[in-house]
Structure 1
Amino acid sequence: MFDKLISYLDSVRARDPSPRSRGEILLYPGVWALAFHRVAHWLFVGELYFLARLVNHLSRWLTAIDIHPGATIGKNFFIDHGFTVIGETAEIGDNVTIYQCVTLGGTNPTNGVGGKRHPTLKDNVIIGSGAQVIGPITVGERARVGANAVVTDDVPEGATMIGLKARSTLVPAETWLREFIPYGTPCDEPCESENGRIDAMERELAALRAELAELRQARKPVAATRKSGTDG
């Protein structure tokens, strides 16, 4: 038990450079929220639904993080900061990192049956702050969801999702193989498709400027001839 706690705290420290000790990590609201959830989920599985909800409400009041007791969470789950909502049928793999103000939300079943309504996050997924991952979709292993992205479709393994509605970007192998990317977003955004469009617009603008300069140069002899004819 103690070894598992130490291993978990070390996994958090590997993803967050700010704590100076394991004891400091024990004060994190995300750590407490996960601990409360383990208890609430155990009660939920045992069909003690009222007690499970009671623990859930206590956890939300203390940590500002709302994890439904029915959610399934793997090892080394880390919520950095708080204000996160995780729905009942969400499934979270191992070594997943979620930043503040994230929602793993559900869709409203039209047939009156609950079923699977919330996302599944595979191992080593990173969800950036403010992201909304909605519906019974799967976010593939080692995928990243950038800050404030809205994701409503399945995310391929290793993809980085950005934007509203989120779209996938191709990530270089050296970035994909990195163990951890803070906030799930490469800071330099090396594959952002807008960069190519900006480059094309700059080339087009340079060509237009060159064409304009040629036209101005061509008009100079005509203007000079007209001026000499007027003087004569």
Structure 2
Amino acid sequence: MFTRLRAYLDSIRARDPAPRSRWEVLIYPGVLAVGMHSIAHWLFQRRLFFLARFVNHFSRFLTAIDIHPGAKIGKNFFIDHGFTVIGETAEIGDNVTIYQCVTLGGTNPTNGIGGKRHPTLKDHVIIGSGAQIIGPIVIGDHARVGANAVVTDDVPEGATMIGLKARSTLVPAEEWLKDFIPYGTPCDEPCEELIETGPKRIADLEEQLKSLRADVDAMKSSSDTPIKRSGTID
């Protein structure tokens, strides 16, 4: 038990440079919320729904993180800061990182049957702050969702989603194989289209700039030439 706890705390320190010791990580709101969720989930599986909800609400009071007792969570799940909501049928894989103000929300079933209505996050997923992941969709392994993105469709393995509604930047494999990217968003946007066409587009812009400069120089030369008058007015 203590070995697993130590490994969990070390996995968080590997993703967050702020803490100076395991003891500091131990009182993180996200760590407390995940720990209390394990109790609530154990009660939920044994159909002790009221007690499970009680633990859930007490945890939310302490941490500002709302994890439904029915949600399934894998190993080394890290919630950095609070104000996160995770729905009942959400499933979270191993080594997933979620930043503040994220919602793993559900769709409203029209047939009266709850069923699977919340997202599934595969292993090593990173969700940036303020992102909204809605519906029974799948976020693939090593995928990243940028801050404030809204995702309502499946995300392929290794993709980075940005925008509202989120679009994929199709991150190359050598990018998403990096150990960890804070906040799920690279500093320079790795858009495949720009990577392939960028040099040609820059060359075209330089040619256009050269042509514009030549036109400006020609206009200056013509304006500096003295105008010859054919006559004078007395």
Q: 1:58 aligns to what?
A: 58
Distance 1:88 1:201 in 2: 52
Alpha-carbon offset, residue 189 of structure 1: 1.8
Instruction: Let me know the Cα RMSD of the aligned residues.
Output: 2.5
Change (3 A) 1:83 1:198: farther
Q: 2:110 aligns to what?
A: 110
Does the aligned pair in 1 maintain the 2:169–2:190 contact within 8 Å?
no
Structure 1-normalised TM-score?
0.89
Larger CA deviation: 209-218 vs 71-80: 209-218
Does the aligned pair in 1 maintain the 2:170–2:190 contact within 8 Å?
no
2:40 maps to amino acid? A
Any unmatched runs of 5+ in structure 1? Answer: none
Structure 2-normalised TM-score?
0.89
Alpha-carbon offset, residue 164 of structure 1: 1.0
Alpha-carbon offset, residue 173 of structure 1: 3.4
Distance 2:156 2:214 in 1: 45
Does the aligned pair in 1 maintain the 2:143–2:155 contact within 8 Å?
yes
Distance 1:5 1:52 in 2: 22
What pairs up with 1:94-133 in 2 under 5 angstroms?
Answer: 94-133=94-133
Alpha-carbon offset, residue 110 of structure 1: 1.3
Q: 2:5 aligns to what?
A: 5
Aligned residue among 196, 204, 209 for 1:206: 209
Distance 2:208 2:86 in 1: 48
2:28 maps to amino acid? Y
The alignment-based identity, stated in percent, is 71
2:215 maps to amino acid? L
Distance 1:201 1:151 in 2: 35
What pairs up with 1:1-232 in 2 under 5 angstroms?
Answer: 1-191=1-191, 196=198, 199=202, 202-203=205-206, 206=209, 209-210=212-213, 212-213=215-216, 216=219, 227-231=227-231
Distance 1:163 1:199 in 2: 25
Distance 2:138 2:105 in 1: 13
DSSP-derived class of the 2:230 partner: helix
2:120 maps to amino acid? T
Alpha-carbon offset, residue 201 of structure 1: 8.8
Does the aligned pair in 1 maintain the 2:172–2:192 contact within 8 Å?
no
Alpha-carbon offset, residue 209 of structure 1: 1.9
Alpha-carbon offset, residue 81 of structure 1: 0.8
Distance 1:137 1:198 in 2: 36
Distance 1:145 1:229 in 2: 70
Distance 2:52 2:208 in 1: 63
